[in-house]
Structure 1
Amino acid sequence: MTAALLTTPRVAVTGAGGPMGLAIARRLAQAGARAMALTDISGTRLDANAALLRTEFPALEIVAMRGDVTGQVEAGAFAEAALAAFGGIDVLVNTVGGLRSAQLYTPLLDMTEVQWRATFDLNLMGCFHLIRAFAPGMLDRGAGRIVNFATIVFGGEKGQADYAAAKAGVASLTRSLAAELAPAITVNAVAPGLTRTSVTRNMPETEATRLTAGACIPRMAEPEEIAEAVAFFASEPARFVTGEIMAVSGGLHPHL
């Protein structure tokens, strides 16, 4: 059974050019979103995904705008376009995040300050800018949903000190804002395990097997499985759920 979203919500999804963003947008459209503002740093990927969504959901109003939401100017331009088109945003999904390195692991003693700062910017600044842009309207209307993206490594991970610390920041931000923005807005986060996206698509099978071996379900997640958790947090049945960090990882949990 599909859990209904807030009444015909207006949704904003960042990172909408990638497989994860597309799966989330598609799932929220299936659940009843009537208007959707999409952004991604890649205009080519964003346009392709927006075209797919327009074909699949002809009644869905879509604004697709290329932008880097880690920067105030481009995040602000996206927010202004969304608000001008739809009058408000009811559900914000902050999907943007990831590593700022060509390699999966970098020991802290080999890490540059540039990488450290860039990883924090990538994982936190989009949340900062867009929550500040959209939350006031949610508060005025007395309802809203914010879904952030952490990861199961936010508890700490050898060789990923920058990424784990940044995602711990996302988890902490989520819980802080759940308290600050209550009771009108619920704020939750999804914490995926290794997921089949454009970043992991070319990962050697031996490495993927090693990273998922400890899970109860030892495989990568599919983006559609992560999107189900987002849809739950955005749904009417989740109206009493806030400040939660939901692991969607086949049984892996944050650890050291």
Structure 2
Amino acid sequence: MEKSSTIKKDLPLTEAVALISGAGGPMGAAIAKRLAADGASLGLIDISGRRLTATAEEIQNDFPNIKVCTVRANATDKDETNAAIKEIVEALGPVTTLINVVGGIRGGELVTPLLGMTEERFDSTFALNLKPLFWMVQAIAPGMVASKKGAIVNISSVTFAGDGDQPEYAAAKAAVSSLTRSLAIELAPDVRVNCIVPGLIQTSVIENAAPKMVKDYTNRSLLKRLGQPEDIAGAVSFLVGPDSNFITGAALPVSGGIPASL
């Protein structure tokens, strides 16, 4: 019997070179594993070399025929990002699929109302959620346009509708959603750009979240559970694959039924 790890010619992404930022975290790793299962070659970037190595080793154990190139880099640093992209392109060829996962809130409290927020907190949240996307798209999208093919997926959040506990994070994710639509217009018709709008996902963030926050999200969900990283990975697989060829500029909620709109 043929092993599941063997690449089949009819897999949807056998010709794709996918670059995933934040590939060492739970969400990024799940996306990397799913795209490997779809047949894509993988360029993986993460600020943690340890987490990045763990993701790559698991993929190579499960899918030994998949090409994987890992580069430890801080995606908020333009020079590090560009150097990482150059190394990945040299190893795998031009990037055809870009997944911008890096984002979130750096350290400290997840919940900080605006009136008690420092300027440093405000600036760092915007930098973490927007600068990596900016650097990645500027470096990779021109090649996609030149080749007249490509797919980009950004990660937003249901908080973009507004959140009194995480106002700067909500605003940053609203910007991600807006930039997605702007890029879809700018890069049309050859490059498709979409974003996923997750609810609360079971990642390391939950470890620092107040129990009440987790309970509130669970209660708001029509499915009465938190999302799993694999839920996001499945949506990414759809948005970069052939079944979504007529979808661009969209914000796809993966939120258990929590509304995702302003």
What TM-score do you get using the length of structure 2 for normalisation? 0.93
| 2:94 is the alignment partner of 1:88 | yes
Regions of 4+ moved over 3 Å: 3-7, 201-207
Residue in structure 2 matching 1:36, options 38, 42, 47: 42
Please tell me whether residue 174 in structure 1 is matched to residue 204 in structure 2. no
1:61-120 alpha-carbon deviations (Å, 9 max, x no partner): 111111111110111111111111122001000000001341121111111111111000
Residues of 2 paired with 1:250 and 1:204: CA distance? 20
2:122 corresponds to which of 96, 107, 116: 116
**Unpaired stretches in structure 2, ≥5 consecutive residues:** 1-9
Matching of residue 99 in structure 1 with residue 132 in structure 2: no
Q: Is the CA contact 1:153–1:255 (under 8 Å) kept in the aligned structure 2?
A: no
| TM-score (norm. length: structure 1) | 0.95
CA contact (8 A) 2:162 2:170 kept: yes
- Structure with larger RCO (C-alpha < 8 A, sep 6+): 1
Distance in 2 between the 1:125 and 1:4 partners?
A: 33
Q: Once structures 1 and 2 are overlaid, which stretch shifts more, 177-186 or 201-210? A: 201-210
Q: Structure 2 residue aligned with 1:16, among 13, 23, 29?
A: 23
Matched, 1:56 2:62: yes
C-alpha contact 1:37 1:63 (8 A) present in aligned 2: yes
Equivalent runs, 1:78-227 vs 2, <5 Å? 78-201=84-207, 203=209, 205-227=211-233
Residues 117/203 of structure 1: CA separation in 2 closer, same or farther (3 Å cut): closer
Distance 2:168 2:47 in 1: 21
- Whole-Å separation in 2 of the counterparts to 1:249 and 1:120: 22
Deviation of 1:206 after TM superposition, in Å, equals 4.7
1:27-79 Cα distance to aligned partner (Å, 9 max, x none): 1111121x110011111111111111111111111111111111101111111
Cα distance in 1 between the residues matched to 2:29 and 2:191: 24
Contact 1:4/1:236 (CA < 8 Å) preserved in 2? no
Q: CA RMSD in A?
A: 1.5
Q: Percent identity?
A: 43
Unaligned ranges ≥5, structure 1: none
SS in 2 for 1:121: helix
Structure 1 residues 135-170: Cα deviation after superposition (integer angstroms, max 9, x where no partner)? 111111110000000000101001211100000010
Tell me how far apart the structure 2 counterparts of residues 254 and 13 of structure 1 sit (CA, whole Å).
Answer: 24
1:188 to 1:99, Cα distance in 2 relative to 1, 3 A: same
Separation in structure 2 between the aligned mates of residue 4 and residue 174 of structure 1, nearest angstrom: 27
